[in-house]
Structures are given as structure tokens and as C-alpha cells.
Amino acid sequence: MRVVLFLLLVAAVPTAAFYAIRWYAYDNWFLSIKNSEIVVLQGHPGGILWFHPKVVDHTHVTTSHVLSTGVTQIHSGVQEASLTAAKNYVRNLHDQYEAVEATKKARKPKSANSGTGTASGTTSSTVPGGTAPPTATPPTTAAP
């Protein structure tokens, strides 16, 4: 009976060490860029012992749909405590990009070819009987 217990103890120690190291090696999520797509990897950058990071989520968000500051952050190493937190981080980066693009689109002047022949960014005077294209600045009135 002592021999069996001793063998179980001898087998249990390395087995427990293996699973403890494995748990530590994969108890981390970080972002990386593969083929210009942001992916979530499970593990530690560079790996621990023989446990190398593995891709657990393809976000389908490319580097062209993220601000350059977000790409810089990913290259410098973004680690999260859970897969959900890593996905939320990528979603927030993409939402920031969308907000900036929407702001750019809103600031972009209306089409310059409205039939009046004016160039973009210029104003035209109103001809009696004619109409002026909408401008971003309010019309001025003559002082009495």
C-alpha cells in the first residue's frame, strides 16, 4: 500500500506542476495583428516554456478600420484579463475610428458641383432672381 501511495505522490507532483504552468501560460489574452487583421491570442507574448500563444478570435477588424494610435497600442502590447475584455477593447478601437470618420464626413462641405460653377470652399454672391448654394457660414446682412 505504501508503494502505491508513493507512486501516486510521485506522479501527482509533476502532473500538478504541468497543469499549474499550463493554467498560468494561458490565463492571459492579448491583441496582435496577423495579415492586417486584429486577432485575440490566448497566452503570453512569446509563450511560456512550451506553451505558445494560440489565436482564439478573429475580430474581422483590419488595421485600416482602426486609428493609427490604436495600431500603435496593439504593437506596444495590449493585454486583457479575459476574452470578453479583449473583444471590447477591439470594439472600442473600431468605434473610435467610426466616430472620427463620421465627424470627418459631417465636416466635409456639400458637393461643389451644384450647377453654379463655384469651387469648393468658396462663397458666391446672390444674383437677383437667382439662388445661392447653401454655405456653412450664415449669410450676412447689410447694415442700415
Domain assignment present for 137: no
Overall number of domains in the chain: 1
Max Cα–Cα distance, the chain, nearest Å: 112
**pLDDT in the model for residue 115:** 52
Under DSSP, the state recorded for 131 is -
Does residue 124 form part of some domain?
Answer: no
In a domain, 36, yes or no: yes
- Which helix (H) or strand (E) covers residue 15, if one does? helix 2-26
Residue 12 neighbours by CB under 8 Å, 6+ apart: none
Collect contacts of 67-74 with beta carbons under 8 A, ≥24 apart.
67/93, 67/96, 67/97, 67/100, 70/96, 70/97, 71/33, 74/31, 74/32, 74/33, 74/38
Each residue's pLDDT tens digit, 73-101: 998 888 999 999 999 999 999 999 999 99
Residue 138 within a domain: no
**Structure-block grid coordinates of residue 53:** 500563444
Is 141 inside any structural domain? no
The tens digit of pLDDT for each residue in 19-53 reads 999 999 999 999 999 998 999 999 988 888 889 99
Q: What is the pTM of this model?
A: 0.64
Residue 119 included in any domain: no
The predicted pLDDT at position 40 comes to 94
Q: Is residue 74 part of a domain?
A: yes
Query: For the residues 130-137, what does the mean pLDDT come to?
Result: 43
Q: Which domain holds residue 71?
A: 2-106
Asked, for residue 59, whether it belongs to a domain, the answer is yes
Q: What are phi and psi of 123, to 5 degrees?
A: -110, 155
